[in-house]
Amino acid sequence: MSVDIFRKPMHCYILLSIWILLLVGGVYKFLEPKPKYSTSSIGTDQFHNLVFDVKTKRIFKICNLPGDIKSGNEGFKSKQWSLKGVLVLIRHGDRGPLQHVTNISYINCGYEEWNTHLKLYQEYLHNLTVLGKISWIGPGSFHGFPVLPTHMTQCQIGQLTMQGIVQLLKLGHILRESYVGIWQKLFNLSHSEVVVYSTRYRRTFQSALAFLYTFITGDTLSKVTILESQSMSFCFKDCGCPIADTFYRSLRKHITKQLFSHPAVALLSETTGRITFSVGAEQGLLGADPHSVRDALLTYICHSSSLPCNSLHNCVNRRNVAGIFSYTDWVNHQKWGNVNWRRYCLLKSYGLIKHIVSQMLHMVSNSGPYLILYSGHDHTLEQLSTALGLQNDPHLLRYAGRIIIEVYNNNLQLLNGARDVYFRILSNGKDVTRQVYFCKELLNVRQDVTLCRIEDIVRFIHDDYFTSLNFTNFKDSCVIKNV
Ligand SMILES: *[C@@H]1O[C@H](CO)[C@@H](O)[C@H](O)[C@H]1NC(C)=O
Ligand SMILES: *[C@@H]1O[C@H](CO)[C@@H](O)[C@H](O)[C@H]1NC(C)=O
Ligand SMILES: *[C@@H]1O[C@H](CO)[C@@H](O)[C@H](O)[C@H]1NC(C)=O
Ligand SMILES: *[C@@H]1O[C@H](CO)[C@@H](O)[C@H](O)[C@H]1NC(C)=O
């Protein structure tokens, strides 16, 4: 296990400062033009990939390559506890960059392994959409959306890649295996027992389909309608909240100020951005945000492509990548502790948490649905995690990341009529229930299984949700005061 220096802010800050001093040296070295006649450096420039090792392991985790998607602690076998239902929140799979990047046509966004599963899925979709051999309830309001990425190997701006499809197929597959012998219902779900929401993006819609194909099988999938969420936060009826944007702006201001006080990082980000982004006018602007640079670099890193170079053969190197990632990880860690961020997430996630609670109650009252899928974005996962009080996990925001909520019934409940119902939360396969701050009495079933009473989350959403904002309801909390 690597030592996680980002857990201790102060310690980390000192280390970061030392590291920034070292970095400055590196940055200037990196800006030096290469000797003109050195044939070796020009030739090798184009072939330096980021190699997987102890130091870069953290970075590759974000890619979440299909081979790294393994079963976690989802589901547990017990005579006393029966699994009533499951809520799944996923981030879409691997996608192309959000902006134009250098040499994108040389990057291979396809995926070679797991080919038989992918082929079968392609055939299924072909039967479904082209041949009409399987009758399909239909894509609902996603009518007209392609069900697969339009290119097999080419990276497209903002679009899911074939690697992304394989990630979701794999995720559905391993989760289904996790529930064998634990959740019988999964193997006999009717279409009315499954509810699926996706944001209105191709990448989330396509991710939802691929996930469901292996998780509930193609038979059930063809009878399910995909519902649209108009918001990335899945806020349902509780969306508009002007003060949330005010909180967000304060946070942004703070983050920008932080970058100003780290000029070496700002310079690193700008020079790296200049090489990475390919559209002239935007290079400087995008490079000014280390988070944009980080996102763009993932396009090379997650597809084993060599890091980008400019026409003068100045290349982004391993140290630059490490610098951008350390800094952005550190900013995210700081953000997690920022009060404006927490308030923002609380307000943004209210609609979703309210929806989750009502679904939990349907599950325990045996009316169903029993499987809810929300197909969303990194923002969705991080806002919900923050609102629930979960600790910052630097690997949370990986492609095809997952948060799963399981609802359990105690079969040995007392005969006083009260229902003994619980839930647990897993973040990328790890039980994080004990981090949920409103859970009063946690039940440790075993080392990796903790349960929280559903009563606690019901009380939270009805009585305590807005306490930290000094209000009692969403509407009042959202009004901008003293302006
Ligand atoms: C793109 O990559 C090719 C092959 O690696 C290389 O010849 C070319 O110079 C690169 N273009 C840019 C703008 O870096
Ligand atoms: C597609 O349809 C053909 C012909 O009906 C069938 O043999 C095949 O199994 C189907 N494939 C999938 C993946 O559903
Ligand atoms: C599947 O569900 C149907 C109706 O919901 C039920 O009649 C049937 O017995 C179930 N099959 C299994 C194997 O549980
Ligand atoms: C709520 O009230 C407390 C005490 O008066 C204050 O410190 C805190 O800043 C208030 N919170 C908000 C969100 O206004």
- Measured over the CA atoms of residue 237, residue 243, residue 249 and residue 254, the dihedral's sign is negative
pLDDT tier at 21 (50, 70, 90 boundaries)?
very low
Does residue 14 sit within a domain?
A: no
Residue with the nearest Cα to atom 10 of ligand 1? 103
Does residue 6 sit within a domain?
A: no
pLDDT tier at 16 (50, 70, 90 boundaries)?
low
Range in 5-14, 79-88, 233-242 with the lowest mean pLDDT: 5-14
pLDDT tier at 438 (50, 70, 90 boundaries)?
very high
What's the gap in Å between 103 CA and the centre of ligand 3? 54
pLDDT value for 321: 93
Q: Which atom of ligand 4 is nearest to the CA of 469?
A: 13
Q: Which atom of ligand 4 is nearest to the CA of 339?
A: 13
pLDDT tier at 461 (50, 70, 90 boundaries)?
very high
Amino acid at 186: L
pLDDT value for 441: 87
Range in 114-118, 220-224, 283-287, 406-410 with the lowest mean pLDDT: 283-287
Question: 97 burial class (0-12, 13-18, 19+ CB within 10 angstroms)?
Answer: buried
For ligand 2, residues with CB inside 6 Å are 120, 123-124, 127, 133, 218
pLDDT value for 313: 84
Q: What is the CATH number of the domain that holds 344?
A: 3.40.50.1240
Does residue 149 sit within a domain?
A: yes
pLDDT tier at 15 (50, 70, 90 boundaries)?
low
- Measured over the CA atoms of residue 170, residue 89, residue 225 and residue 232, the dihedral's sign is negative
**Contact between residue 341 and residue 283 where contact means Cβ atoms under 8 Å apart:** no
Residue with the nearest Cα to atom 11 of ligand 3? 188
At residue 87, does pLDDT exceed 50? yes
Q: Which atom of ligand 1 is nearest to the CA of 106?
A: 2
Average pLDDT for 23-31: 40
pLDDT tier at 481 (50, 70, 90 boundaries)?
confident
Average pLDDT for 10-16: 50
Give percent of the chain above pLDDT 70: 87
Ligand 3 and 188: CB distance under 6 A? yes
Closest by Cα among 399, 320, 368, 317 to 62:
399
Task: Identify which has the larger pLDDT, 17 or 480.
Answer: 480
**Contact between residue 56 and residue 318 where contact means Cβ atoms under 8 Å apart:** yes
pLDDT tier at 32 (50, 70, 90 boundaries)?
very low
Quick one: which H or E segment has residue 297?
helix 290-301
Q: What is the DSSP string of 51-78?
A: PPSTTTHHHHHHH--GGG----S-----
Q: Which atom of ligand 1 is nearest to the CA of 310?
A: 14
Does residue 332 sit within a domain?
A: no
Residue with the nearest Cα to atom 9 of ligand 4? 469
**Contact between residue 111 and residue 67 where contact means Cβ atoms under 8 Å apart:** no
Mean residue pLDDT of the chain comes to 87
Q: What is the pLDDT of residues 89-143, one digit of tens each?
A: 999 999 999 999 988 999 999 998 888 999 999 999 999 888 877 778 778 889 8
What's the gap in Å between 7 CA and the centre of ligand 3? 48
**Contact between residue 30 and residue 320 where contact means Cβ atoms under 8 Å apart:** yes
Range in 278-287, 374-383, 435-444 with the lowest mean pLDDT: 278-287
Q: What letters, b where the CB count within 10 A reaches 16 and e where it falls short, cover 31-54? A: eeeeeeeeeeeeeebeeeebeeee
The Cα–Cα gap between 100 and 148 comes to: 22
Average pLDDT for 189-215: 96
Amino acid at 281: A
Give percent of the chain above pLDDT 90: 72
Q: Which atom of ligand 4 is nearest to the CA of 470?
A: 1
Ligand 1 and 278: CB distance under 6 A? no
Does residue 347 sit within a domain?
A: yes
Residues 6 or more apart from 387 whose CB is under 8 A from it?
342, 345, 346, 348, 349, 350, 353
Task: Identify which has the larger pLDDT, 243 or 286.
Answer: 243
The Cα–Cα gap between 404 and 391 comes to: 16
Average pLDDT for 243-264: 95
Q: How many folded domains does the chain comprise?
A: 1
Does residue 181 sit within a domain?
A: yes
**Across the chain, which distance is largest between two alpha carbons, in Å?**
86
Two structure tokens written together for 104: 């994108």
Does residue 382 sit within a domain?
A: yes
pLDDT tier at 311 (50, 70, 90 boundaries)?
confident
Structural domain containing residue 459? 76-101+114-237+339-469
Two structure tokens written together for 295: 């996102």
Ligand approaching nearest to the C-alpha of 191: 3
pLDDT value for 282: 66
Does residue 268 sit within a domain?
A: no
Residue with the nearest Cα to atom 2 of ligand 2? 127
Q: What are phi and psi of 392, to 5 degrees?
A: -65, 125
What's the gap in Å between 277 CA and the centre of ligand 1? 13
Average pLDDT for 252-273: 93
Residue with the nearest Cα to atom 7 of ligand 3? 188
What's the gap in Å between 124 CA and the centre of ligand 2? 7
pLDDT value for 44: 37
